[in-house]
Amino acid sequence: MTSPSSNFPAKLFAFLTSFALATTTLALLLLLTFLGTLEQAEYGLVASQARYFESLFVDRIDIGACWRALALNAYFDIGDIVLPIYVLPGGYTLMAVLFVNLLLGGIVRIRKSPKTIGVIISHFAILFMIAAGAVSYHFASEGSLELVEGRTGDEFRSFHERVIEIEKITTGKDEPRRALVIADGQYRDLRAGDKRVFTHESLPFDLVLTNWKQHAQPKRAADDRSDAVDGYYIQEISTLDESGAALPDEQLASACIAIARDKKSGEEQKGILWEFAAAPWTVSVGGEKFLITLDHRTYKLPFAIRLDKTEQEKHPGTERARRFTSWVTKIADGREEKRVVTMNEPVRSAGYAVFQQTFDDGTRSGSGVKRSGFQIVENPSDHWPLISCIIVAEGLLLHFLMMLARFIKVEPWKFSLGLILAFNAAFALAMWKLL
Amino acid sequence: MRSPTMKHSLPCCALLVCSLTLTGCGRPGESVAITETREISTHAPAPNIDITSATRFYDDARKEAQERPDFRNLLTWTVPEGWKESGQPDPMGMRLVDLRFGTGGEGECYITLMPGSGGGLEANVNRWRAQMGQQPYTAEEIEKLPTKPFFNRDASFVAFDGDFKGFGAETAQPGYRMLGLIHSAEQATIFVKLTGPKALVEQNAAAFDAFCQSIKPNLPNQ
């Protein structure tokens, strides 16, 4: 008789490979998709994605928002009901569980035979797709770079990530400029009354952040306002538009109050940081000046891009844009290379893809100067989902053809592999003709 | 023997236990050391220092617009013989004066004034070069641009030949020549730009120089 303790690994293995775990995980993923999609109507894509699909656990569920998204409030209004619970696992946790379940159950534990080879291939491909999601989540970055004709840039701004940066003003002309970076995950929970101190040995002051708001605008304050900073206060603005739909994340302008506290004297300087501010907040401590900004995160490119010329092509007889094209020079290690970026035809280099995103002939900015906006994407797993989809298809095709071969009593391997070869050849020919 | 209900509740219970264990995770403490740094690109714009809250929050923009003087009154100039003011409003409404010359008014010359550096000499020269279908100048080539006296100082002078495609134009006009003068001061940058068919521009090159020399600040006491 085996003791319970010696049975534990076997029990754990049985649990991790069980169909019950797979079914529960898939059911919870379905629930997350349902809730996340409904909440998206009021919270926006980015917020819903973060809460439901990228989190370890869902911190709360806005039942009222889901109810309204289903238009059930037309029959019965339940008001604002929010469940502040950490019970529902988030997409990140569920995908990790599914990965383990599929790896152990669908690859390790599964019976290995010619009958299951197609299924094993498909399982492997699904694991590859989950891995692609994890790599993309952890290592991918995307943002935009805007250039006017004749200008060069080698940095791009993230679409959704915000940071607070502290830059010490350097006096030397050739001295490199550096900034300390505080990620938004470290301060975005600081509502009114909450505060957090950020320190760095190179700074003569500590930075205290408080009163963060997701969408706000500084307003001129009346004399009697207690929360006024330098004559302004932060007015919170609704994140919904006039029709009640969530504003896109890119249109939200977060703000917070920052206090620079001198490490020696304890003297405090107070300022408002606002995402849409025209200039940074300047702090002077001990004869040195520091610039503090709340802005989108900046990423460095391994090469620079100079916009030589940009043009837009319009549909004949209309003002509707048909195509934007930019003639750029890629500069890396002192070498220049002429490239052309146009819509749906990005330039790829050093793991980055540069897409033509926007164009302004000078009317939008009012400057009369032409400019191009590029979307920059860095994703090490860029093509992994496509590859895994192809492998899934091949695996399932093999599985079904083997079953068919056994049913019609022909040699399974020759029949299946012959047909798969024919399918692939036809597919390749079609793609070659199409592209 | 376990009941089927118990067996199937195991995954759910496990997930619940995990969730309760991790409930308190994730919130940073009251004091956080900054660990991340980044190097700012040499291509990044120069920092704006000591900007007031009113300017940072665009609160003075409306007031400034009300108080902004009519730039036409800031300068005086003499229109060369045979040149005349365009009757059409310019596309961007940025020209202080918009002149035409040539039998059909093919040649145009105008003055614009922009606050600060107006985007910088390099960007503006290369924008003009792009309009003429020419490759951009390098920083070294920009530095070597000839200068002409203007406003008692030196202004960068450019002369390009090429196919001119102006702002908003659908097609480029071949065989054109562009003359330009850019003078940048701390407060503002002034641009004088002349374009037209090459032969016509060459005929009017002296008039362009004279026009540039005639541009003076409009000082009430002088």
Q: State which residues form the domain around B181.
A: 86-217
Cβ–Cβ gap A362/B19 under 8 Å = no
Separation CA B125–CA A194 (nearest Å): 51
Q: Which residues of A touch B8 (CB under 8 A)?
A: 20
Per-residue pLDDT tens digits of chain A, which is 435 residues long: 445 556 888 999 999 999 999 999 999 999 999 999 999 888 888 888 889 999 999 988 999 999 999 999 889 989 888 888 778 999 999 999 999 999 999 999 999 988 899 999 999 999 999 999 999 999 988 899 999 888 899 999 999 999 999 999 987 777 889 999 999 999 999 988 899 999 999 999 999 999 999 999 999 887 778 888 999 999 999 888 777 777 888 889 999 999 999 999 999 999 999 999 999 999 999 889 999 999 999 999 999 999 998 888 877 766 667 788 999 999 998 899 999 998 878 888 888 989 988 888 766 655 567 888 999 999 888 889 999 999 999 999 999 999 999 999 999 999 999 999 999 999 899 988 876
Per the rule left: phi > 0, alpha: psi between -120 and 50, beta: everything else, A260 is beta
- The neighbour count for residue B193, using CB atoms within 10 Å, is 21
Q: Which residues of A touch B32 (CB under 8 A)?
A: 182, 186, 196-199
Cβ–Cβ gap A274/B36 under 8 Å = no
Is residue B206 domain-resident? yes
Separation CA B127–CA B166 (nearest Å): 10
Separation CA B156–CA B110 (nearest Å): 16
pLDDT value of position A405:
94
B126, closest residue in chain A (CA to CA): A150
B142, closest residue in chain A (CA to CA): A150
Cβ–Cβ gap B53/A189 under 8 Å = no
Residue appearing with tokens 């900054």: B34
pLDDT value of position B20:
47
Q: List CB contacts of B177: < 8 A, sequence separation 6 or more.
A: B159, B160, B161, B195, B196, B197, B198, B201, B202
Q: If we measure between CA atoms, which residue out of B79, B43, B105 comes closest to residue A151?
A: B43
Stated length of chain B: 222
Which pair of tokens denotes residue B154? Answer: 């030196």
Separation CA A20–CA A26 (nearest Å): 10
What is the H or E stretch that residue A220 is in?
A: strand A216-220
Half-sphere exposure of B216 (CA within 13 A, CB side): 10
Q: Do the Cβ atoms of A363 and A335 come closer than 8 Å? A: no
pLDDT value of position B222:
39
Separation CA A129–CA A103 (nearest Å): 12
Q: Which candidate in B31, B53, B63, B170 is best for mutational testing of the A interface (most A CBs within 10 A)?
A: B53
Stated length of chain A: 435
Is residue B21 domain-resident? no
Task: State the smallest CA–CA distance between residue B118 and chain A in angstroms.
Answer: 9
Is residue B174 domain-resident? yes
B122, closest residue in chain A (CA to CA): A150
* b/e sequence A401-420, b meaning 16+ C-beta within 10 Å: bbeebeeeeeebeebbeeeb
Nearest to B11 among A24, A151, A304 (CB): A24
The one-letter code for the residue type at A165 is E
| Chain A CB within 8 Å of residue B32 CB | yes
Separation CA A75–CA A77 (nearest Å): 7
Separation CA A337–CA A245 (nearest Å): 45
A428: exposed, middle or buried (Cβ count in 10 Å: 0-12, 13-18, 19+): exposed
pLDDT value of position B71:
64
pLDDT value of position B48:
86
Is residue B179 domain-resident? yes
Which string of DSSP letters, residue by residue, matches B76-123?
E--PPTT-EE-SSPPTTS-EEEEEEESTTS-EEEEEEEEETTTT-HHH
B61, closest residue in chain A (CA to CA): A278
Q: Which residues of A touch B139 (CB under 8 A)?
A: none
Would the CA dihedral through A407, A408, A410, A413 be positive or negative?
Answer: negative
- CATH number of the CATH domain containing B110: 3.40.1000
Task: State the smallest CA–CA distance between residue A36 and chain B in angstroms.
Answer: 18
pLDDT value of position A195:
92
What is the mean pLDDT for each group of 10 consecutive residues in chain B (222 residues)? Answer: 45 50 58 94 87 88 56 79 81 79 90 78 87 87 88 86 81 90 81 93 92 79 44
| Chain A CB within 8 Å of residue B145 CB | no
Q: Which residues of B touch A15 (CB under 8 A)?
A: 10-11, 14
pLDDT value of position A232:
92
Nearest to A280 among B29, B44, B48 (CB): B48
pLDDT value of position A256:
95
B23, closest residue in chain A (CA to CA): A86
Name the DSSP letter for residue A244: S
Is residue B130 domain-resident? yes
Is residue B15 domain-resident? no
Cβ–Cβ gap A15/B10 under 8 Å = yes
Is residue B73 domain-resident? no
pLDDT value of position B23:
46
Cβ–Cβ gap A57/B48 under 8 Å = no
Nearest to A182 among B34, B167, B168 (CB): B34
Half-sphere exposure of B37 (CA within 13 A, CB side): 13
Asked if ipTM goes beyond 0.90, one says no
What is the tally of structural domains in chain B?
Answer: 1
The one-letter code for the residue type at A248 is P
Name the DSSP letter for residue A89: B
Cβ–Cβ gap B34/A199 under 8 Å = yes
C-alpha distances in Å from residue A406, one per residue of A163, A395, A421, B109 = 61, 17, 19, 85
B132, closest residue in chain A (CA to CA): A309
Helices A384-407 and A412-434: angle between axes, nearest 10 degrees? 140
Q: Which candidate in A155, A187, A261, A338 is best for mutational testing of the B interface (most B CBs within 10 A)?
A: A155
**pTM recorded for the entire structure:** 0.62
Nearest to B38 among A181, A282, A309 (CB): A181
Q: Do the Cβ atoms of B211 and B96 come closer than 8 Å? A: no
Is residue B168 domain-resident? yes
Cβ–Cβ gap A97/B15 under 8 Å = yes
| Chain A CB within 8 Å of residue B6 CB | no
Please report the beta strands in A315-334, taking only residues with DSSP state E, as ranges in sequence order.
Answer: 321-332
pLDDT value of position B6:
43
B190: exposed, middle or buried (Cβ count in 10 Å: 0-12, 13-18, 19+): buried
